[in-house]
Amino acid sequence: MSQPKKRRPLTLRDVSEASGVSEMTVSRVLRNRGDVSAATREKVLTAAKTLGYVPNKIAGGLASQQVNLVAVVIPSLANLVFPDVLSGISAELDDTPLQPVIGVTNYSPAREETVLYDMLSWRPSGVILAGLEHSRGARAMLEAVAVPVVEIMDVDGDVIDCAVGISHLQAGRQMAAEILAAGYRRIGFIGTHMPEDHRAKKRLAGFEAALAEAGVALAAREFYQGGSSLAKGRELTERILARERDLEFLYYSNDMIGAGGLLWAREQGYDIPGKLGLAGFNGVDLLDGLPIRLATTDARRQDIGRRAARIVAGKEPRPEGGKLILAPHFLPGETIRAPGSGIGVRQE
Amino acid sequence: MSQPKKRRPLTLRDVSEASGVSEMTVSRVLRNRGDVSAATREKVLTAAKTLGYVPNKIAGGLASQQVNLVAVVIPSLANLVFPDVLSGISAELDDTPLQPVIGVTNYSPAREETVLYDMLSWRPSGVILAGLEHSRGARAMLEAVAVPVVEIMDVDGDVIDCAVGISHLQAGRQMAAEILAAGYRRIGFIGTHMPEDHRAKKRLAGFEAALAEAGVALAAREFYQGGSSLAKGRELTERILARERDLEFLYYSNDMIGAGGLLWAREQGYDIPGKLGLAGFNGVDLLDGLPIRLATTDARRQDIGRRAARIVAGKEPRPEGGKLILAPHFLPGETIRAPGSGIGVRQE
DNA sequence: ATGAAAGCGCTAACAG
DNA sequence: CTGTTAGCGCTTTCAT
């Protein structure tokens, strides 16, 4: 074979020589900038394609002091929720020159800081990152940066530049209201133990606050470490019900463990939603195929991604007061009774 | 507030002036290169931290002609399988200076080409991309590139530089052998219709070939468009069994639709695995929490990611002949009878 | 152990 | 419409 292989990368100069046009004009053609005659344009394009020239964005970025990257920093990819956020982001960035670059922190603040440092060293045109809680170092970097910074998912707390998300406090309160309205009173909560799962913590806080206002205390809670899975949901559900046999409702911190609990409880013959109600959180589409639909809250993941991307792309102004608050949507499913259908009003 | 906010990004020069040391020495300290006295080292580090200096990798990359990025091009993030591959890649890259950058093609060859073009314009130190089938343009770019290119997931076909994966032909054959050994004969297949799902296609080819060698023909097949979900699995299973009531086994092209089929068939009261056997593909951990474990093939996703990353990082030599072939692992689960326990040997 | 000079490949800003 | 001149912020190379 005599194809050109593994050579020195081509430069603008190569295209310039091949087409007999100045580097500057070649550059203009390749970026569709300024007026270039159709003739030279053609020559350049042909030469570039023939040679297989790929522009060097490193050099371009340095020269133009502009890098069309958006740093996106999220806790995990194994989570089912972040791919949705990402798809919202890329959908909205697709018709702009901006490109998302993903960094994963594994829920570690220290790792978040290093990931952020690495990403900022590429001088991106914007930053989107999950959550409102960051290390001092991370905050300092984000405050010093000269580009839009959008914190996503959560709006309960202090914002660096601006935030797009739902109020998890409100989501918790909302679910509590629905559960109470359906007449359930002996309620348990199952969630992660992760110290860094601030959003789950806020949901629980809102949930308990709303229960308390109705004179109801959480009857049991069960925490776990590590990732969420159907298996974990089964195990935890069995455990909490073994401890507190008379629970009437279980509120899970995410749909995956909720789905596991649902499968388990059905196998055990629990009357759902009659004697035992269940609810998760997120609104993942995995729920579509379960034997019955788990009640949940749509966390507006895709919308959050879209709106955040729109702000970074300048399609939408930075929200007033820095917070763009989306409403969590309650999805009743089939694991919670209809409102007012409860056994007793208030306890006994 | 008088904190420094939204200013011009700091440069090496700023650190140089703040510490009274030449830019060159500052650069050495920040990269731990060459000998620098402990004293100046200290001065520089302090100055850099105080100022909040973040190095500019754009400039660094241009000067050093070396960019420590690895382009990773995959079809989708919503797929459950790619996060595993990615986690293998980042685990193996974590102790190197290399950083993965993810590009998503949505199973479109055209999009793959543009994503690749965009990524190559950053002059990465390596490329990892899914599959062996690429557009002419994409192949040309990859052949011209001067860095390692690792095609992953599949090894059945022509390799550009090298490949790490399983043989899907073999995976299909293996599953056919297991199903036949268990005595099932009336077998159906359910898979995506996507023209670009080459790996599923190869599995089916291997599957049918092995069946044919045993004198068995596929009794039915059902294809679908779009993404995989539990709901889709239910629907397709219902449809194929409505058409061919006497099917004894269903081979799904992935675990997600297999799991949906499993849930549906159990609800319908099918005797599994006695009268109806089921198998999926991938070995996702979602399967852990189902009522019974779906038989499947572990596609070695994380291993594939790790080995590919090792090759790109130079921890491992490029494989002989360009192909690093991993063995798919059959996982029997509980939805296939034990070998030899079949109803009849051969067809009556 | 430290510094000075040159230049990576491209584009902004000006000519013409 | 096209070309020339600088220089982006860093690192390589060579001195000292």
* Cβ–Cβ gap B230/A291 under 8 Å: no
Question: Span A340-348, mean pLDDT?
Answer: 54
Question: Span B319-332, mean pLDDT?
Answer: 96
Residue A289, domain member (yes or no): yes
**Is the Cβ atom of B175 within 7 Å of strand C at any atom?**
no
pLDDT beyond 50 at A114: yes
Kindly write down the DSSP assignment for every residue of B214-261, as one continuous string.
Answer: TT----EEEEE-S---HHHHHHHHHHHHHH-TT--EEEESSHHHHHHH
Question: Do residue B224 and residue B83 come from a single domain?
Answer: no
The 10 Å Cβ neighbour count of residue B12 is: 19
pLDDT at A347: 40
| Tokens standing for residue A218 | 């959480």
* Cβ–Cβ gap A234/B101 under 8 Å: no
Domain total of chain B = 2
pLDDT at A7: 72
Question: Do residue B287 and residue B312 come from a single domain?
Answer: no
Comparing A48-52, B87-91, B296-300, B337-341, which segment has the lowest mean pLDDT? B337-341
Q: Where do runs of H (alpha helix) occur along chain A?
A: 12-19, 23-31, 38-51, 57-64, 82-93, 109-120, 136-144, 168-181, 198-213, 230-243, 255-267, 301-313
In chain B, residues 127-186 whose CB comes closer than 8 Å to chain A = 140-141, 143-146
Question: Span B63-92, mean pLDDT?
Answer: 93
Q: Report the distance separating Cα B120 and Cα B141, nearest Å.
A: 8
Question: Do residue B201 and residue B310 come from a single domain?
Answer: no
Domain extent, residue A221, equals: 168-299
Question: Do residue A176 and residue A264 come from a single domain?
Answer: yes
Report the chain B residue with the minimal C-alpha distance to residue A90: B104
Q: Report the distance separating Cα A333 and Cα A285, nearest Å.
A: 12
Q: Report the distance separating Cα B172 and Cα B154, nearest Å.
A: 13
pLDDT at A80: 83
CB A20, CB A43: distance < 8 Å: yes
Residues 4-43, chain A, CB closer than 7 Å to nucleic strand C: 9, 11-13, 23-24, 27, 30-31, 33
Closest approach of chain A CAs to the CA of B4, in angstroms?
Answer: 7
Q: Which amino acid is at B120?
A: L
Q: Which residues contact A203 (CB under 8 A, 6 or more apart)?
A: A168, A169, A171, A172, A175, A253, A281
pLDDT beyond 90 at B346: no
Comparing A130-139, B186-195, B278-287, which segment has the lowest mean pLDDT? B186-195
* Cβ–Cβ gap A57/B122 under 8 Å: yes
pLDDT at A136: 95
pLDDT beyond 90 at B80: no
Q: Measure CB to CB from residue B229 to each of A120, A141, A285 and give the nearest one.
A: A285
Question: How distant is C1' of D6 from CA of B13, in Å?
Answer: 19
Q: Report the distance separating Cα A184 and Cα B41, nearest Å.
A: 65
Question: Do residue A281 and residue A181 come from a single domain?
Answer: yes
CB A326, CB A166: distance < 8 Å: yes
Residue A5, domain member (yes or no): no
Question: Do residue A74 and residue A154 come from a single domain?
Answer: yes
CB B137, CB A48: distance < 8 Å: no
- Residue A255, CA distances (Å) to A136, A174, A299 in order: 32, 16, 11
Question: Do residue B190 and residue B276 come from a single domain?
Answer: yes
User: Could you tell me the CATH number of the domain that includes residue A100?
Assistant: 3.40.50.2300
Question: Do residue B239 and residue B145 come from a single domain?
Answer: no
Which one-letter DSSP state was computed for residue B8? P
Question: Span A215-243, mean pLDDT?
Answer: 95
Q: Does B108 touch chain A (CB under 8 A)?
A: no
Which one-letter DSSP state was computed for residue B273? T
Residue B191, domain member (yes or no): yes
Question: Span A112-137, mean pLDDT?
Answer: 97
> What is chain B's Cα-based Rg?
26
Residue B348, domain member (yes or no): no
Residue B233, domain member (yes or no): yes
Contacts 24+ apart (CB under 8 A), B240-248: B240/B188, B240/B190, B241/B265, B244/B186, B244/B188, B244/B219, B244/B220, B246/B186, B246/B219, B247/B186, B247/B187, B247/B188, B247/B219, B247/B220, B247/B276, B248/B184, B248/B185, B248/B186, B248/B187, B248/B275, B248/B276, B248/B277
The position carrying tokens 């006295």 is B37
Assign B192 a pLDDT band (cuts: 50, 70, 90).
Answer: confident
pLDDT beyond 70 at A344: no
Closest approach of chain A CAs to the CA of B326, in angstroms?
Answer: 23
pLDDT beyond 50 at B171: yes
pLDDT beyond 80 at A345: no
* Cβ–Cβ gap A286/B229 under 8 Å: yes
* Cβ–Cβ gap B260/A289 under 8 Å: yes
Question: Do residue B149 and residue B205 come from a single domain?
Answer: no
Question: Do residue B143 and residue B180 come from a single domain?
Answer: no
Residue B345, domain member (yes or no): no
pLDDT at A3: 44
Question: Do residue B135 and residue B159 come from a single domain?
Answer: yes
Q: Does B236 touch chain A (CB under 8 A)?
A: no
pLDDT at A5: 55
Residues 12-31, chain B, CB closer than 7 Å to nucleic strand C: 21-22, 24-25, 28
pLDDT at B343: 56
pLDDT at A346: 43
- Give the pLDDT confidence of B93-142 residue by residue, as tens digits: 999 999 999 999 999 999 999 999 999 999 999 999 999 999 999 999 99
Query: HEC profile for A158-200?
Result: CCCCEEEEECHHHHHHHHHHHHHHCCCCCEEEEEECCCCCHHH
pLDDT at B140: 94
Closest approach of chain B CAs to the CA of A155, in angstroms?
Answer: 22
Residue A291, domain member (yes or no): yes
Assign B345 a pLDDT band (cuts: 50, 70, 90).
Answer: very low
Question: If you average pLDDT over every residue of chain A, what do you get?
Answer: 93
Q: Which residue has the higher pLDDT, B92 or A348?
A: B92
Q: Report the distance separating Cα B56 and Cα A123, nearest Å.
A: 7
Residue A236, domain member (yes or no): yes
Question: If you average pLDDT over every residue of chain B, what do you get?
Answer: 93
Question: Do residue B158 and residue B231 come from a single domain?
Answer: no
Nucleotide minimizing C1' to CA distance for residue A33: C11
pLDDT beyond 90 at B195: no
Q: What percent of chain A has pLDDT over 70?
A: 96
